[in-house]
Amino acid sequence: MRRYAFEGIHVLDFTWFAVGPVTTKYLADNGADVIRIESRARLDGLRMAPPWRDGKPGVDNSQFFASYNTSKKGLTLDMSKPEARAIFLKLLPWADVVTESFTPKTLRNWGLDYERMSAIKPDLIMLSTCMQGQTGPHRDYPGFGNLLAALSGFYYSGYSPDELCPPYGAYTDFIAPRFAACALMAALDYRRRAGQGQYIDMAQYEAALHFLAPALVDYFATGRVMEPQANDSARYAPHGAYRCADEDGHERWIALAVENDQEWTATLKVLGAASADMRLATFSGRIADRGSVDELVGGLTRTRHAEELTVALQTAGVSAYPVQNCMDLHRDENLEAFGFWHWLDHPHMGPSPYEGLEHRLSRTPGELRSPAPTVGQHNDEILTGMLGMTPAEIEQLKVDKVVF
């Protein structure tokens, strides 16, 4: 019986920033051997982005990078040099999968498109993922997930049509990997059955639009354009975030959603509403006057302790939870019970907690098998162990900045 799902699968991974690395992390945490090829000549931007250990910037000191690259090995090759490309081509027959997330022309400029690689390794699976795909007039657009979130409609949240509010961070970077992983894993199994590899072109834009599908279906059918809806919902009332009592000078909020009259009665009871406004007793009444509902609920939560109120509401059958900040997440008892946070001892940064897996498998559970590689950490191991190079040869490649 295998311990990990993808034991024996080999990946050469050129991806950088978030989408590609998070995708290959699914394979790496599930037992695949993933060699991340990078170069000091053009380092992954996340190696130079916070959070840093002790607040000190450094290429081996970023947990932003470390979070997305667990269980992988690191090889440095400056692929702009022909000698580096020759080394890559020697490694290629070992690989089942090659992944990259540059703008489309980068690999072509290296002479390494799928055609060339599959001539050497016929059943190779290759995944290319960039913002807008490998074809089309906007294929070379370079950008980050925060900008793609704007382009793909996610900025249409907000307090009103004139007060848009973007999601935090590079939102689409955390949609695309789920789709990319599905395509890649299904292609791996297809190859096992049919003996055929293939090329996967995944536009992060197109994957992200699946998360706004209802609004797109609506627009195409009726011409209605999605607008910001503050915290309103057509399905629940009340529905939103309500201020609770501050704790230690920090603001606290509770999110709650009431779906029917029974839950509304329970909510009022938990909140200790002295007399209920009869106009709000029905679902349609509450939907019609959300302002009064929010005022009533917000007035009653303001003095309450968010966590105690959550327990009371959930016990009464009402969906609620504190609006958690990042500090709260590290002491959240449900995440803890699931074993979500995973401590790793990074060779440079020392021990810190990492995001663990979002699911648990009963028979072949994945896990964070090792911390992310420091720059070039496994150069000697890979070049000697896999290609039989001597220490002198490797040293020369380092001097020539090929292994760099």
Q: Which of residues 12-41 bind another protein (CB under 8 A)?
A: 18, 26, 30
In this structure, what DSSP letter does residue 138 have? T
CB of 333 to another protein, least distance (A): 6
CB of 59 to another protein, least distance (A): 13
The answer to the question of residue 285 lying near another protein (CB under 8 A) is: no
Nearer Cβ to another protein (6/14): 6
Amino acid at 87: I
In terms of C-beta distances under 8 Å and separation of at least 24 residues, what long-range contacts does 320-326 make, across chains too?
Answer: 320/254, 320/255, 320/256, 320/257, 321/254, 321/255, 322/244, 322/252, 322/253, 322/254, 322/255, 323/241, 323/252, 323/253, 323/254, 323/255, 325/250
The answer to the question of residue 203 lying near another protein (CB under 8 A) is: yes
Amino acid at 10: H
Looking at 84-92, 181-189, 267-275, 375-383, which segment touches another protein (CB under 8 A)?
181-189
The answer to the question of residue 48 lying near another protein (CB under 8 A) is: yes
Nearer Cβ to another protein (233/384): 233
The answer to the question of residue 64 lying near another protein (CB under 8 A) is: yes
Distance CA 145, CA 131 (A): 8
Binding residue (CB under 8 A) for another protein from 119, 213, 278, 392: 213
Binding residue (CB under 8 A) for another protein from 80, 364, 370, 396: 364
In terms of C-beta distances under 8 Å and separation of at least 24 residues, what long-range contacts does 83-87 make, across chains too?
Answer: 83/397, 83/400, 83/402, 84/39, 84/402, 84/403, 85/110, 85/111, 85/112, 87/383, 87/387, 87/397, 87/402, 87/403
Binding map of another protein across residues 291-320, x = CB under 8 A, - = no contact: -----------------------x--xxxx
CB of 391 to another protein, least distance (A): 34
Nearer Cβ to another protein (231/265): 231
Amino acid at 396: Q
The answer to the question of residue 108 lying near another protein (CB under 8 A) is: no
Binding map of another protein across residues 125-144, x = CB under 8 A, - = no contact: -------xxxxxxxx-xxxx
Is 332 a catalytic site residue?
Answer: no
Question: For residue 58, how far is the Cα from the chain centroid?
Answer: 23
Q: State the DSSP H helix or E strand holding residue 309, giving kind and residue range, or none if neither.
A: helix 306-315
CB count within 10 Å of CB 16 equals 22
CB of 88 to another protein, least distance (A): 21
Looking at 81-89, 205-213, 272-280, 373-381, which segment touches another protein (CB under 8 A)?
205-213
CA distances from 396 to 12, 78, 83, 332 (A): 23, 14, 12, 51
CB of 277 to another protein, least distance (A): 21
Which tokens hold the place of 213?
Answer: 């599908």
Nearer Cβ to another protein (251/400): 251
The answer to the question of residue 202 lying near another protein (CB under 8 A) is: yes
The answer to the question of residue 50 lying near another protein (CB under 8 A) is: yes
Nearer Cβ to another protein (162/274): 162
Binding residue (CB under 8 A) for another protein from 40, 41, 49, 396: 49
Report the sign of the C-alpha dihedral through residues 297, 303, 309, 312, in that order.
negative
Looking at 34-42, 69-77, 209-217, 374-382, which segment touches another protein (CB under 8 A)?
209-217
Residue among 44, 43, 49 nearest 63 (CA): 49
CB of 345 to another protein, least distance (A): 14
CB 17 within 8 A of CB 45: yes
Q: State the DSSP H helix or E strand holding residue 337, giving kind and residue range, or none if neither.
A: helix 333-338
Residue with tokens 């609506």: 218
The answer to the question of residue 283 lying near another protein (CB under 8 A) is: no
Looking at 91-99, 104-112, 330-338, 394-402, which segment touches another protein (CB under 8 A)?
330-338
CB 215 within 8 A of CB 226: yes
DSSP secondary structure of 107-118: HHHTT--HHHHH
Residue with tokens 């690191």: 74
Binding map of another protein across residues 214-253, x = CB under 8 A, - = no contact: xxxxxxxxxx-xx-x-xx-xxxx--xxxxx---------x
CB of 289 to another protein, least distance (A): 17
Q: Which of 33, 78, 96, 173 is catalytic?
A: 173
Positions marked active-site: 173
